[in-house]
Amino acid sequence: MGIKRSNTLIACMLAASMLLAACSSSKAGGGEAKPESGGKPAEPAKTEQNGALAKYNPPITLHIARSSSQNWKYPKGDDLNNNIWTRAYEEKLGIKLALDWTAEDGSTYDQKMNVSIASGNLPDLFTVNATQLKQLADAGQLADLTEVYNKYASPLTKQNMNSDGGLGLKSATFGGKLLAIPSINANIYSPSLLWIRTDWLKKLNLPEPKTMQDVYAISEAFTNKDPDGDGKKDTIGLGLSKTLLNAGVGELNGFANAFHAYPTLWIKGSDGKITYGSIQPQMKAALAKLQDMYKSGQIDTEFGVKDTAKLGEDIASNKLGMLFGANWLPYLPLIDAVKKNPGMDWKAYAIPSVDNEPAKAGVAFPTYAYVVVRKGYEHPEAAVSMLNLYQDTRFKTPVQAVNPFETVEENGNRIETVKYAVVQSALGNDVVVKALKLLREALQKDDKSVLKDALKETDKFDPVRAFQKNGDMAYWSQGRQFNAYEVLLDNYTGDKLLTTEFGGRTQTMGEKWEALDKLEKETFTKIIMGTSSVDEFDNFVATWKKLGGDTIIKEVNDWLASQN
Amino acid sequence: MHVLSFGRRIFLTVNYTVLVLLACSCLLPFINVLATSLSSSPAVNAGEVSLWPVDFSLASYRYIVSNPAFVGSFGITLERVALGTAVNMLLTIMLAYPLSKDNRSFRLRTVYVWVFVFTILFHGGLIPWYMTIKMTHLLDTIWALILPGAVPVFNVILLLNFFRSLPKELEESSFIDGAGHWTTMWKIYVPISMPAIATILLFTMVGHWNSWFDGLILMNSPKHYPLSSYLQTVIIQMDYSQLKQEDIDLLAVISNRTTKAAQIIVGALPILIVYPFLQRYFVKGIVLGSVKE
């Protein structure tokens, strides 16, 4: 009882404590920090020079904090502290890892990291999110990695780290100093695509969607023309999840993009300043149309309580044939439905547009985490060495088909070993687009050797080929995901992919964002359900700005200005 | 059997209907989880399972029994509940007894009570709490889950008030027979306070069993998580906006609802079983008749 009570209290006080965190931690950090030895970090320790990979002799011990997951699997005898990556760090780099703590990836890790930062209890090398990075950078608790990165990063590392157009590195740079190694990924994978059940399209003799008018017609027909053929009017036109935005499955984003609206993204306004996508007039138009569709029964009246699992149930029980979602939809939730209903088939389409201007896809920031080194640590270059090792083992061409650093097979189970790496950074759009193009070319020519220069997706060739050539349903997911890849390649490269301008979290966001986010979601849900009129959107914009939105917009612009 | 008036009958009907509906609203979700845990995964994903298992399968239970993380966390929770409840109960009783005496026999009693009440009203906050535990080197040990909450003040006040409601003559008679405070507390007060102690015991056990936040913050490795912390990390809704392309293989595991359901059942069952055993103490009036005034 007592414990439970204090937890509630603790949770309430978290926000307040965080306010004090910056100043209390800067004191603690300053106290612990050892004097920097003239900017020349411990070069004598390096004896062997192995290309860009240098080995410490004698080995150093690196204290780390990292996220992990209960869902991870390990080969027999291995665990988080002893696996192929930790052994490689020790054997190839002379870096012994000491794991100070770990926690479940996601909010649990973030929460524990917040406590760790606030109490001044920092490991040597650790992973943080954008908010924590800014907090630590402002408090001056991070080592400057500019010099060691320029000096030790291998050409391959530099190529891949810049393959996102330099966005990630820029977001980790404060006042001209590189304070973190961004973990970049490719947001070409992120667009919300239009997934349609193609066997219903054929059955009802409908054309593939080219414009939004086609989409409305399909939605209408799926609702009223009994596509499942059971004689009952029990189908819906467009699937929406209760999460609405960035839900992955049944999200609003793709629909909004068709109206040139970019909800939850920071976009450049007509005046060149950054502004928030959800409060633009285009969003109002998208919501107005959704309200119409809801009124005519094309959207589930219960969408406000449907999560991914429930949408999956609707799909499997032949109630739903169209929704917006990510390229991985075939894995979740479509494959379960396809297995259950022979003859069911789905395909991804590009987002049509409401007018003559083609729709762009709005996507999130392509950096998901930052690896930082505590100020005063003697070997900041260890972070770069570990990054080099990661890039070298994973992305040196020709990429190995079977790489024990990526996955191993054990008793027929596939175990992903790549997750154990401490310093990670995947590939940016440039490299991934190239790999996807090579994959397509290889499949067209039916020649696997085309893939020798691809850094990624090489493992997709065999499954997709089996699906395309032999119609092997065991590889339905891979086959249909490849179709989605093609849509991405054909429609969302270059400036058709609209990346959010800002991936961090400002101070006012820390205090107000939850409330604003809730307001946004509630207003959108109410408008779609018709309990609020469409004009309620204007009130929402005014309230949003008044409750801190204006301050946040200003902070975001200031932040971005400070990084230029 | 006397005849019930019309109004009374209406009241009883409405009363029982409301109570039954209330009970159902608590029970049905639990039955649904139980049915889910005993069904096959495809049936669950197709939404066919409501209150009865479809394609009966014990696969998810077999999975969790062979899952070392689950079994390990289960053991830690048992250890925590056993140790934590013992420490809590001992300190609660030993604190409530002196504080239940009146001001004449224990002069600073009121001051002490206020010192304890103060800790209910004010809390140092998350960071000081964390740092205290860190600097006393309790971090990442089982004691971090037990010692910081060793004195549940709310329970102390409950028991204190129960002790005060006992007739003073009981204490006097035991003193006359030559007993000291120690004997009076253990031999007289504790046995006749079983209803109150059973209630507090239940609070404490359930509190320890369910508490997850301290486990997440104070343990440095998931290996040391108690069961509730473990379940919290496994069952919490996946944030798909954070999904990386590399994570797709995890989707199959994460979306496995039967396994989640089985873990919830196994996690809830032991504490459910405790209730009937404590129920027999929830009988009032044990003190009645011990004193004639």
CATH 1.10.3720.10 positions along chain B are: 67-279
Q: What is the mean pLDDT of chain A?
A: 87
pLDDT of residue B254: 58
Comparing alpha-carbon positions, the chain B residue that sits nearest to A249 is: B240
- Could you tell me the pLDDT band of residue A95, with boundaries at 50, 70 and 90? very high
Residues A32, A156 within the same domain: yes
pLDDT of residue B167: 87
Strand extents, DSSP E, A248-313: 266-268, 274-276
Q: Which of A64, A104, A390, A420 to mutate to test the interface with B (most CBs of B within 10 A)?
A: A104
Residues A42, A86 within the same domain: yes
Instruction: Please give the tally of structural domains in chain A.
Output: 3
Q: Determine whether the interchain pair A103/B149 forms a contact, defined as Cβ–Cβ distance below 8 Å.
A: no
Span B153-176, pLDDT tens digits: 999 998 998 898 888 888 999 999
Residues 113-152 of B with CB under 8 A from A: 120, 123, 125-127, 129-131, 134, 140, 148-149, 151-152
A80 chain-B contacts, CB cut-off 8 A:
221
Q: Rounded distance, CA A290 to CA A284, Å?
A: 10
In a domain, A6, yes or no: no
Q: Rounded distance, CA A256 to CA A430, Å?
A: 26
Positive or negative, the CA dihedral A10, A13, A14, A17 is negative
Residues 66-105 of B with CB under 8 A from A: 69, 88
The fraction of chain A above a pLDDT of 70, given in percent, is 90
Residue A11's alpha-carbon distances to B122, B179, B229, in angstroms, are 14, 47, 15
A406 chain-B contacts, CB cut-off 8 A:
none
In a domain, A58, yes or no: yes
> For residue A283, what are its two tokens?
């969003």
In a domain, A406, yes or no: no
pLDDT of residue A48: 42
A14 chain-B contacts, CB cut-off 8 A:
126
User: Are residues A180 and A133 in contact, defined by beta-carbon separation less than 8 angstroms?
Assistant: yes
Residues A513, A456 within the same domain: no
Helix (H) or strand (E) holding A374: none
Nearest one of A400, A418, A456, A433 to A163, comparing CA atoms: A433
Q: Strands A266-268 and A346-349: what pairing?
A: unpaired
Q: Determine whether the interchain pair A331/B221 forms a contact, defined as Cβ–Cβ distance below 8 Å.
A: no
A185 chain-B contacts, CB cut-off 8 A:
244-245
Superfamily for domain range B67-279? MetI-like (1.10.3720.10)
Amino acid at A540: F
Comparing alpha-carbon positions, the chain B residue that sits nearest to A64 is: B220
Half-sphere exposure of B284 (CA within 13 A, CB side): 2
Which of A438-452, A486-500, A523-537, B54-68 has the least mean pLDDT? B54-68
Measure CB to CB from residue B42 to each of A100, A340, A419 and give the nearest one. Answer: A340
Residues A117, A248 within the same domain: no
Q: Rounded distance, CA A75 to CA A411, Å?
A: 10
Residues A197, A323 within the same domain: yes
B47 chain-A contacts, CB cut-off 8 A:
310, 312-314, 316-317
Residues A208, A356 within the same domain: yes
> Mean of the pLDDT values across residues A129-136?
90
B69 chain-A contacts, CB cut-off 8 A:
70
Q: Which of B32, B36, B45 to mutate to test the interface with A (most CBs of A within 10 A)?
A: B45
Number of helices (H), then strands (E), belonging to chain A: the values are 20, 18
pLDDT of residue A412: 77
In a domain, A401, yes or no: no
Provide the whole-model pTM.
0.81
Nearest one of A286, A280, A275, A205 to A252, comparing CA atoms: A286
Nearest one of A85, A182, A49, A178 to A389, comparing CA atoms: A85
Listed residues A496, A524, A539: the one ending a domain:
A496
pLDDT of residue B250: 61
Q: If you search the block for the tokens 């009783």, which residue do you land on?
A: B93
Comparing alpha-carbon positions, the chain A residue that sits nearest to B146 is: A3
> Mean of the pLDDT values across residues A361-373?
93
B131 chain-A contacts, CB cut-off 8 A:
119
Comparing alpha-carbon positions, the chain B residue that sits nearest to A184 is: B244
Q: Is B239 on the interface with A (CB under 8 A)?
A: yes
User: Are residues A205 and A502 in contact, defined by beta-carbon separation less than 8 angstroms?
Assistant: no
CATH code, domain carrying A511: 3.40.190.10
Residues A327, A270 within the same domain: yes
The one-digit pLDDT tens for each residue of chain B (293 residues) are: 567 789 999 999 999 999 999 999 999 999 999 998 998 877 887 778 888 888 888 888 888 888 888 899 999 999 999 999 999 999 999 999 999 998 888 889 999 999 999 998 988 888 899 999 999 999 999 999 999 999 999 999 989 988 988 888 889 999 999 999 999 999 999 998 888 898 899 889 999 999 989 998 999 988 899 999 888 887 765 566 556 666 666 665 556 788 888 888 988 888 888 888 877 776 554 444 455 54
Residues A53, A180 within the same domain: yes
Within 8 A by CB and 6+ apart from B27, the residues are: none
> For residue A377, what are its two tokens?
């640590």
Measure CB to CB from residue B129 to each of A10, A106, A314 and give the nearest one. Answer: A10
Nearest one of A144, A145, A150, A253 to A192, comparing CA atoms: A253
Q: Is A146 on the interface with B (CB under 8 A)?
A: no
Span A166-195, pLDDT tens digits: 889 999 998 889 999 999 989 899 999 999
A100 chain-B contacts, CB cut-off 8 A:
220
The domain of A323 spans 193-363+499-555
Within 8 A by CB and 6+ apart from B247, the residues are: none
ipTM of the modeled complex: 0.79
In a domain, A14, yes or no: no
Four-point Cα dihedral B88, B94, B99, B101, nearest 10: 150
Span B15-32, pLDDT tens digits: 999 999 999 999 999 999
How long a stretch of residues is chain B? 293
Q: Rounded distance, CA A397 to CA B55, Å?
A: 48
